Structures are given as C-alpha cells and as structure tokens.
Structure 1
C-alpha cells in the first residue's frame, strides 16, 4: 500500500494480477461533506485524479466528462452574463427608472461583485453541481440544515429556470421591434412573442442536450461573439453618433451634468428610485454563479470554477460600466423612449434610432440578438445542471427521472426537457401583460441573491469556526466582504419588490408581482416541507453507498442516507 500525492492510498500487486485500488480517506482531505467525521473510506478500482477524489469525498459519483477548462467554463458564465443583450433588455429597470446616469451601475457593481467574490470562496470549498444548497447543508446548524437547504434549493432553482425564458423573451422582443421598425404597419401580438420565443427555446433545448465537448466549444464561440459584438456595438454608438443630423439642433454629446444626472421617473423619492434601478445591474450582471453548477464538468474545479466566477463578475462589471457611459453621453430624448413614440415596444432599439443611422441601428440590434441567442442557451445549460443536481438529491417529484444522465450524450437530457416545459409555462405570463412577464426578470434577481448569500451568512456567523476554505479563498478579507454582501442583499430584497408607482397611480398593470411569484412559490414549498418533505428530505445525499467501506466498525454503524452501511470491504465496479 502506497500513498499517492492526493492523499489517496493505492494498492498495487507484485504479480500484476490483482486489480488496482484507489482509496480515499474522506476525513484526511480537510473538507466538509455529507461523509465527514464518519471515518469513511471510499474505494474504486482505478487511479483517481484530484477532481475525482474531491467529488467522491463530497459524496457523488463522477458522472460527467471534465471537458471544461477555466477558459471554457468562464466562457459559459460570461455568455450567461450576456452583457450586450442584458443591458438592452433592462432599459425598463434602469434607464426608465432613474434616467441615463451610469452612477447606479457603478455603485451597484461594487456590491454585486462582493456577492460574487463570497460565492466564489464557497464554490472552492464545495465544488459540486448542487452549488449553494450543498454548502448550506454543511454550514447550517444541524437542526435547521434541512429547512435552510430546502429554501436555498428552491430559491436557486427559481433563479435558474426563469433565466432562459426571460432572456429569450427579450431576444424575441428585439427581433419583432426590428421588424416593426422596417414595417411600420406591423404590430406584434403576444401570440407572436410567444411563438418566436418558443422557437428559440426549442433550439436551445436541442443544443443543451448535446455532449459536453460540443457544449464547451459552442459556448466558447458564444463568448467570443458576445465580447466582440459588445465592442463593435460600443464603437458603433460612439463612432457612428449622428445625433445632430437625426435630431435637428442637438449637440453631438450630452453634457456631464446631463449624462451623470438622475431623472426620477417613479413616484418614490430619488434615493429609493436610485436603489430600484439596481435591478437592471443585478439582472445584467447575473450568471456569474454558472461555474459553480458546472464544476463537476470542469478540470481543477476547486480553483478554476471560483476563478471563473471572479473573472465573470469583475470583467462584466467593468465592461458594462463602459457601455453605460456610451449610453449616458449619447441618449437624446428619454421621454420619447418612455412614451414609446416609435411604437417599437423595445427601449433599446428606440435609443439606437435616436443616435445612429437606421442601417447602423439595425446592424447593432442584429448583433445584440445574436448575443442574446448565445446567452439564452448558456442559461438553459446552467439551469439543467441545477435541476439534475437537485434531483440527484431527491428534491423534486419523479427525481429519479430528472437525475438520469443520457448514456449516449453523457448529459442530463431529461433535466433539460423538464426545464424547457417549465419555461414554456412561465412564458404564459406574457398574456397577463407587461407587469406579469416582468416578474420573471425581478424574481431571478431576488431568488439568486437569496441562494447566493445564505451560505455566505452562515460561514461568517454560526459556521465561522468550522468553515474549511478551499484552495481559492479571500483570506483575511473573507469576513468583511461577506458582511458587505449580506447587508446589500438584505437591503435589496424589499427594494426589488417595489412597484414604480404608488397611491392612486398604482394600478394592476403597474404592480410589481415579484412578491407573489417568488414568495408565493417559496411559501408553497415551505408548506410542502412542513407537511411532508421534512420526513424524508435531509439535504444533499451521497450516491456512492456501494463504494463506501469503514475502517472502524463502530463508526460504520452510522447510516448514510438513512441506510446502515456494511463494513465489509469489497471491490466496487469502476466508477
């Protein structure tokens, strides 16, 4: 018996006739997992690398090929970020709330990045597709771990399943706005929006079901296009600025006071309006958590996945701010966009028409639509991995179906399918009006923040002495950054539920239905937990019972997943 560099005992045979065994001693790895402190040993019949060792120690069988590198997993998350289409889709939540100033982006960017950095540290410690719920299950007090994990699961899941429909709906809206611009007699209906969005969703369902190697390449191309198109459109806006010719008597650029000034378009004080506009930044910068959920398909996951989170949030925030500057200094008539004078139904296209020539505006919108397509696919990809991981833990009805990995593609095709169906049901909200469909944008912001921040709060409070940082960590800055991110999220949760009108101006079509959609679903899930799920849901559960042996028979009597373990050492089948 010899020790491997990765703390794995490897049994060898002098005759060469006996099989090789790799043995992982969970408690010697310095990590927290569902198998920790039970004197658990895991045996497999082949040599393990550090990624396989860690995922086994976390309690899961390696079921995916690790064909994502740091760059390719960053490409997925940056594609999910989709800065160009995200900025285009969130005019309603930033520019049409507090005006054209880039100041809200600059301020919100700092706090959103703090949330991302804290999440990256958690990811390094628990690099599994289950993401934050797994971390919560290990950091929360034992008595409250199941219910806190349950809340984290449903919050993160709502964030994920609303992402692709909202992105693709926004992309369809830009397509139809272009057609309306070219054909003034045409007015799109909700049926048109739904049909076009469905077509995009179907194509993403097909792509997201393909093998990991193809997905890595596809998302790499998507990210290159997203970055390239963002730069091109930025140059189009600044270099192709024709404001004086398009708007008679206009100056070429806005003055500093106008560009940085706040225009309160809500019924609330300007301070509240300023905070409400953060929804645009939060939604535009969302997606940095994707590497966490792809960590089981990423090589050197404990380092690469958190680095990808940090790169995505940092670069995304900085590049987005530069784009906000371009908008602030070129947008001409905000009132015309608010009132939709052109009847396009898409503020971003209305903005472009005010600044650049018609053909340039159409070209810029076309590039934004292509970026939106890549973004929507990346969102569906990340969401499918979340559904798979939570089904593996038995969270949903028929979990055994959604947790199956297709033998041919080695991807969770069933999870992709159920997410597609749920996305189509969410898109029916568009028939309830703009306020209803708008809820899937703001729900994603709140749901994501809640799921990202619960493990951060736990690791700086009740679990500060037992949290075991991974190889990528914030060091002495972990606690202060954690407190900043928690305070920001606590402030923003109620703000994101505010409508833009109040008093007699608050009509049903002006309501913010986020409270009902997010907290309603969460409340129903908690009733389910209280009535039934508390009997069987205890959080993430290991699926490697057949690989576990014990060095101590007394410790071996403790059940894993409620099943007593056999202490007899056997050689398992190859993982």
Structure 2
C-alpha cells in the first residue's frame, strides 16, 4: 500500500545499488562501516525464531515440530521483513529531510517520517499517516505480548532449575489458567522500568535492543559450539538431523553469532556524545560482572544444573 500512496516511487536501481551514508547526521562516511551496521536491523528481526524455540516444550512431538517452527519463522520473517524494507525504501521522498531534527518526527523515527512524507505529499494531510502508524503500533503491541510470553517462559524455566533469586515465587503456576502468572508480572515490571528512560533518551532503546540480542544470541552460541567440538560417537541424532551438513552449518553459525554480537556493540553515530553513545557494551559488561560475582560468591555453592522434570523409565518416558 505504501509505494502506491508514495507515487512516484524511487527507481529499482536507487533502491538496490545506491549508497547513502549521510555523514552530516550520522558522522559515518565509510561505506564498509555503513554496510556492517546495516546488517543489525535484519538481524534482531531474524532472531525472532527463539520464540518458537522457547515454546517447543509445550508442543507435541517437539523434536520434529520445534525445528520446523524455527525454520518457518525465519522464512516468514524473511518474506514479510523484506517486503516491509522494500516498501519503505521505494517510498523515500527526500533522503536528507529524513534525518533533520526539524522534521515532523524530530529526525529520530525514519520509517515514520517516510510514511508521513508519502501521505502528506499525496493528500496534503497527515491523517492517513497516523492511521497507517496505528497498524504498525498494533503489531508492536502484539510483538511485545509474544516477547513477554517467551520471556516469562524463560523465567519459569530457570526458576524451576532454582537458578534465580526467589525461584519458588516465579515458578508458581496458576491452578486454573496453568500460566506462571508471577513470572509474567515480573517480566512486565522489568519491561516498564526499562522503557521509562526511552521517553527521554532514544539511545536507551538502541542499547536495550543491542544487549538483549547479544545476550540471547550469544547464549545460543554455547550449545552450537559444543556440538561443533564434541566427539561424534557421543552424539545421538534426533529425527530432525542435518547429517553431513552439521559441522559446516555449526561453524558458519558460530562465526555469524560472533560477528553480529560484535557489531551490536559498535557506535552507530559519530562523534561520540552522551546522546549518541552506544551504551550496550557498558550495560552488557555490568550484567556479566554481576552474574559472575554472584556465581563466585554464592551460586556455585548450591547450583547443580538443570532439574529433571521427566521420569526416565527403561531409557525413555
């Protein structure tokens, strides 16, 4: 719909071959650096497959349906995410104006500005742009719900393993709804607290995205790397098995995770100021330092690893 409103649109050669670094606003004039940073946006969308991974425990035949759900989510994100980016880039009216601090979105929300320019340029009214944004805000709301669901699922899982403070409270399941309500409220409260600084500083949002992506993707690198180096005879393949492709796929995955985790910690604009600084490395360093300190001082004395919640009888349940 957006390119139809934005007539005339940009040419295909502009969308697929034109490079613009906007050094006046971002301070970045290096094309390779711009390309490296541009990977970030697609990355944190593609990593949405972890929602499918978290919820496999509740599904029937999880050893087969889990991997299918993960691959399906990546395919869907690739198609719809690609279409969304193409719609936005084809609809750009004035590239310089997108980043100006005196524009309608204060230079902070480029996609919203593209939508505004398209509707205002066509109808000389911002009503259509607001309605269009409501669709996107609605999808943000549902995205927030799914993130809260998977976060609560993760809190429930680690509290079941007695891995976090006050575990008995968070692992409590509501008798009728069968949902760990306390874990859901904990995740909601943390989200609200993290969201408050965003009202004042845009850079906080970038830092939260960066830290959360590095955190959850970095954690996936651990089992993938373990699979890469473990002896083949000690691995028992499940029904969804990569066969000969297993080692190359694991190797590429580990390299890709190292690459993306590194670029999420890079500054996205120069010169470095308080408003433009990427606080992700500081936040990540502080979180890791606290966890390591907790481990050394206390947790290592009592934490014995995941708690088995399935009885093993004759080798299988």
Q: TM-score, normalised by structure 2?
A: 0.88
Alignment of 1:536 onto 2:302: yes
Report the alpha carbon displacement of residue 275 of structure 1 after superposing the two structures with TM.
1.1
Q: Tell me which residue corresponds to 1:519.
A: 285
Q: Tell me which residue corresponds to 1:238.
A: 3
Alignment of 1:351 onto 2:114: yes
Distance 1:268 1:392, change over 3 A: farther
Task: Tell me, in whole angstroms, the C-alpha distance in 2 between the residues paired with 1:355 and 1:462.
Answer: 54
Report the alpha carbon displacement of residue 296 of structure 1 after superposing the two structures with TM.
2.4
Task: Tell me, in whole angstroms, the C-alpha distance in 2 between the residues paired with 1:407 and 1:436.
Answer: 38
CA contact (8 A) 1:268 1:501 kept: no
Alignment of 1:440 onto 2:223: no
Which of 363, 372, 382 is matched with 2:131 structurally?
363
Alignment of 1:304 onto 2:72: no
Task: Tell me, in whole angstroms, the C-alpha distance in 1 between the residues paired with 2:238 and 2:313.
Answer: 26
Report the alpha carbon displacement of residue 486 of structure 1 after superposing the two structures with TM.
0.9
Report the alpha carbon displacement of residue 372 of structure 1 after superposing the two structures with TM.
1.6
CA contact (8 A) 1:352 1:361 kept: yes
Report the alpha carbon displacement of residue 432 of structure 1 after superposing the two structures with TM.
5.6
Task: Tell me, in whole angstroms, the C-alpha distance in 2 between the residues paired with 1:480 and 1:275.
Answer: 23
The structure number with the bigger radius of gyration is 1
Task: Tell me, in whole angstroms, the C-alpha distance in 1 between the residues paired with 2:14 and 2:116.
Answer: 20
Distance 1:436 1:240, change over 3 A: closer
Which of 254, 261, 267 is matched with 2:28 structurally?
267
Task: Tell me, in whole angstroms, the C-alpha distance in 2 between the residues paired with 1:349 and 1:481.
Answer: 37
Alignment of 1:314-325 (within 5 A): 314-325=75-86
Q: Tell me which residue corresponds to 1:181.
A: none
Distance 1:529 1:322, change over 3 A: same
Any idea what the Cα deviations from partners look like across 1:264-323, whole Å, max 9, x if unmatched?
A: 244362212211122211122232111221122212211112111100002211332222
Task: Tell me, in whole angstroms, the C-alpha distance in 1 between the residues paired with 2:79 and 2:296.
Answer: 44
Could you tell me which runs of 5 or more consecutive residues in structure 2 were left unpaired when the two chains were aligned: none
Could you tell me which runs of 5 or more consecutive residues in structure 1 were left unpaired when the two chains were aligned: 1-235, 243-251, 552-575
CA contact (8 A) 1:279 1:445 kept: no
Q: Tell me which residue corresponds to 2:56.
A: 295
CA contact (8 A) 1:387 1:415 kept: yes
Distance 1:548 1:470, change over 3 A: closer
Alignment of 1:13-24 (within 5 A): none
Task: Tell me, in whole angstroms, the C-alpha distance in 1 between the residues paired with 2:34 and 2:216.
Answer: 21
Any idea what SS the aligned residue of 2:47 has?
Answer: coil
Q: Which has the higher contact order (CA 8 A, sep 6+)?
A: 1
Which of 461, 479, 484 is matched with 2:229 structurally?
461
Task: Tell me, in whole angstroms, the C-alpha distance in 2 between the residues paired with 1:506 and 1:488.
Answer: 27
Any idea what SS the aligned residue of 2:116 has?
Answer: helix
Any idea what the Cα deviations from partners look like across 1:460-497, whole Å, max 9, x if unmatched?
A: 11354423232112222221111111111112222211
Report the alpha carbon displacement of residue 359 of structure 1 after superposing the two structures with TM.
3.7
Q: For the aligned residues, what is the CA RMSD? A: 2.2
Task: Tell me, in whole angstroms, the C-alpha distance in 2 between the residues paired with 1:405 and 1:321.
Answer: 39
Q: Tell me which residue corresponds to 2:151.
A: 383
Alignment of 1:453-492 (within 5 A): 453-492=221-260
Distance 1:327 1:431, change over 3 A: closer
Alignment of 1:317-336 (within 5 A): 317-336=78-97
CA contact (8 A) 2:52 2:73 kept: no
* Higher helix fraction (1 or 2): 2
CA contact (8 A) 1:338 1:347 kept: yes
Task: Tell me, in whole angstroms, the C-alpha distance in 2 between the residues paired with 1:327 and 1:463.
Answer: 48
Any idea what SS the aligned residue of 1:408 has?
Answer: coil
Distance 1:347 1:267, change over 3 A: closer
Task: Tell me, in whole angstroms, the C-alpha distance in 2 between the residues paired with 1:393 and 1:491.
Answer: 31
Task: Tell me, in whole angstroms, the C-alpha distance in 2 between the residues paired with 1:335 and 1:268.
Answer: 15
Alignment of 1:75-224 (within 5 A): none
Report the alpha carbon displacement of residue 423 of structure 1 after superposing the two structures with TM.
1.5
Q: Tell me which residue corresponds to 1:402.
A: 170
Task: Tell me, in whole angstroms, the C-alpha distance in 2 between the residues paired with 1:338 and 1:418.
Answer: 37
CA contact (8 A) 1:388 1:412 kept: yes
CA contact (8 A) 1:290 1:382 kept: yes
CA contact (8 A) 1:293 1:382 kept: yes
Any idea what SS the aligned residue of 2:239 has?
Answer: coil
Task: Tell me, in whole angstroms, the C-alpha distance in 1 between the residues paired with 2:314 and 2:62.
Answer: 27
Any idea what SS the aligned residue of 2:48 has?
Answer: coil
Distance 1:548 1:453, change over 3 A: closer
CA contact (8 A) 1:458 1:464 kept: no
Task: Tell me, in whole angstroms, the C-alpha distance in 2 between the residues paired with 1:372 and 1:324.
Answer: 16
Aligned residues: 303
Distance 1:443 1:471, change over 3 A: same
Alignment of 1:285 onto 2:46: yes
CA contact (8 A) 1:285 1:313 kept: yes
